């Protein structure tokens, strides 16, 4: 007999609610965990998401029909009770907790366990089925302490007062988190941002995340950019516009910077391993803590985590969802 939630290549279908979780194709009824493009698509009939996620989707796709769900609020859809629980990934990110027929299922979306000043911390919820992401689901992925990575960035900045540091950072989440981490470590100088980051930074500030003195990255004399940190989306790192900067040191903030080859591909001199996803230890610790009867693994490197569950006598299966990786998002 098919289960009441069904993994499909295009998302997870919650049959009794007739709704899809993070569908990758337009659906009539979509429950969206967070605003990243591989989870939040445009074109749905109606979206249920946190207020922040709806605002992010409106910014990216234009205003659509949506219902804002607060963390902890319970909504009911035809015998399914649904609530959104903080996932600690980006502003507004949520795990979706579904209860039906005496069974509790948590779909994490993306998550991490490390402190992030820009969003609410992940809350483990005991459940029967835990559907976890596995972006960094290999034992080789162990993210270093975030503070020490930010210190390396500041040390490079201070050691090169004639240069500037151009940091590639994903426009939703990573950029704002990095700015907050820099501020928390006493860096109050203006930070310059590429035009593609402006609206998302403004949205974070509207939702109460102060980012300090942000200035445009273009249209200023090169002299003014010396000794400054400049943020751009990863895709713009090696673009034309950066040639106007004064002798930039190219950096990138991503969990993927653990892989030297990925840093080399983008000509990154200063790889910063700062991730918005759980690393291997966070994934396995979280599965232990949630202690579900069954773990469903998706969104990344499923095999190693599946094997880990098996060797720890935990029931698990790998789901094959399509279009679930955005390598810049790491
Ligand atoms: Zn994400
Ligand atoms: Zn994702």
Per-residue model confidence (pLDDT) at position 70: 98
Per-residue model confidence (pLDDT) at position 327: 58
Per-residue model confidence (pLDDT) at position 2: 65
Q: Token digits for 255?
A: 């969990």
Q: How far is the CA of 37 from the centre of ligand 2 (A)?
A: 8
d(CA 13, CA 320): 14
Per-residue model confidence (pLDDT) at position 30: 98
Per-residue model confidence (pLDDT) at position 64: 77
CA angle 310, 314, 317 (to 5 degrees): 70
Confidence at 323, pLDDT banded by 50, 70, 90: low
Q: How far is the CA of 160 from the centre of ligand 1 (A)?
A: 33
β-pair type (103-107, 129-134): parallel
pLDDT of 328 over the 90 cut: no
pLDDT of 325 over the 90 cut: no
Q: How far is the CA of 109 from the centre of ligand 2 (A)?
A: 7
Per-residue model confidence (pLDDT) at position 110: 97
Confidence at 239, pLDDT banded by 50, 70, 90: confident
Q: How far is the CA of 229 from the centre of ligand 1 (A)?
A: 24
For 244-263, what is each residue's pLDDT tens digit?
899 999 999 999 999 999 99
245 contact partners, CB below 8 Å, separation of at least 6: 164, 166, 217, 222, 225, 230
Least confident residue range of 83-92, 162-171, 216-225: 216-225
Q: How far is the CA of 110 from the centre of ligand 1 (A)?
A: 5
pLDDT of 44 over the 70 cut: yes
- Tell me which residues have their CB within 5 A of the ion that is ligand 1: 36, 110
pLDDT of 326 over the 90 cut: no
Per-residue model confidence (pLDDT) at position 95: 98
Helix ranges restricted to H, the chain: 51-61, 146-159, 174-184, 195-206, 222-225, 260-265, 280-290, 302-311
pTM listed for this prediction: 0.96
Q: How far is the CA of 276 from the centre of ligand 2 (A)?
A: 10
For 298-319, what is each residue's pLDDT tens digit?
988 899 999 999 999 999 999 8
Nearest to 275 by CA among 257, 256, 255: 255
Helix axis angle for 174-184 and 195-206, nearest 10°, is 70
Q: How far is the CA of 329 from the centre of ligand 2 (A)?
A: 7
Q: How far is the CA of 288 from the centre of ligand 2 (A)?
A: 22
d(CA 271, CA 253): 7
Confidence at 322, pLDDT banded by 50, 70, 90: low
Q: Residue 54 to residues 11, 94, 98, 194, 213: CA-CA distances in angstroms?
A: 19, 12, 20, 24, 26
Q: What is the mean pLDDT of residues 53-74?
A: 94
pLDDT of 1 over the 90 cut: no
Q: How far is the CA of 132 from the centre of ligand 1 (A)?
A: 12
325 phi/psi in degrees, rounded to 5: -130, 125
Q: How far is the CA of 133 from the centre of ligand 1 (A)?
A: 10
Q: What is the mean pLDDT of residues 14-38?
A: 97
DSSP state of 145: P
d(CA 141, CA 151): 21
């Amino acid at each position: 007999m098919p289960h009441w939630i069904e993994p499909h290549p295009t998302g997870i279908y919650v049959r009794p609610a007739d709704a899809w979780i993070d569908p990758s194709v337009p659906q009539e009824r979509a429950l969206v965990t967070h605003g990243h493009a591989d989870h939040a698509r445009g074109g749905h009939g109606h979206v249920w998401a946190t207020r922040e996620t709806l605002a992010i989707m409106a910014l990216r796709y234009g205003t659509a029909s949506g219902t804002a769900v607060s963390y902890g609020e319970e909504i009911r859809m035809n015998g399914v009770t649904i609530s959104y629980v903080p996932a600690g990934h980006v502003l507004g990110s949520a795990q979706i907790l579904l209860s039906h027929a005496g069974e509790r299922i948590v779909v994490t979306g993306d998550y991490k366990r490390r402190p992030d000043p820009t969003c609410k911390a992940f809350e483990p919820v005991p459940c029967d089925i835990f559907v976890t992401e596995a972006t960094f689901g290999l034992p080789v992925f162990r993210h270093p302490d975030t503070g020490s990575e930010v210190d390396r960035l500041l040390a490079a900045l201070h050691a090169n007062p004639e240069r500037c540091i151009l940091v590639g950072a994903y426009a939703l989440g990573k950029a704002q988190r990095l700015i907050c981490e820099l501020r928390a470590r006493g860096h109050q100088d203006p930070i310059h941002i590429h035009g593609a980051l402006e609206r998302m930074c403004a949205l974070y500030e509207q939702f109460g995340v102060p980012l300090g003195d942000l200035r445009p990255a273009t249209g200023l004399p090169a002299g003014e950019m010396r000794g400054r940190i400049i943020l751009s989306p990863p895709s713009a790192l090696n673009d034309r516009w950066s040639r106007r900067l004064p002798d930039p040191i190219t950096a990138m903030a991503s969990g993927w910077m653990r892989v030297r080859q990925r840093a080399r591909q983008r000509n990154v001199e200063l790889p910063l391993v700062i991730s918005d996803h759980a690393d291997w230890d966070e994934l396995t610790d979280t599965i232990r803590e949630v202690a579900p009867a069954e773990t469903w693994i998706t969104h990344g490197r499923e095999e190693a985590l599946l094997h880990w569950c098996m060797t720890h006598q935990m029931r698990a299966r790998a789901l094959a969802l399509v279009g679930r990786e955005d390598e810049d998002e790491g």
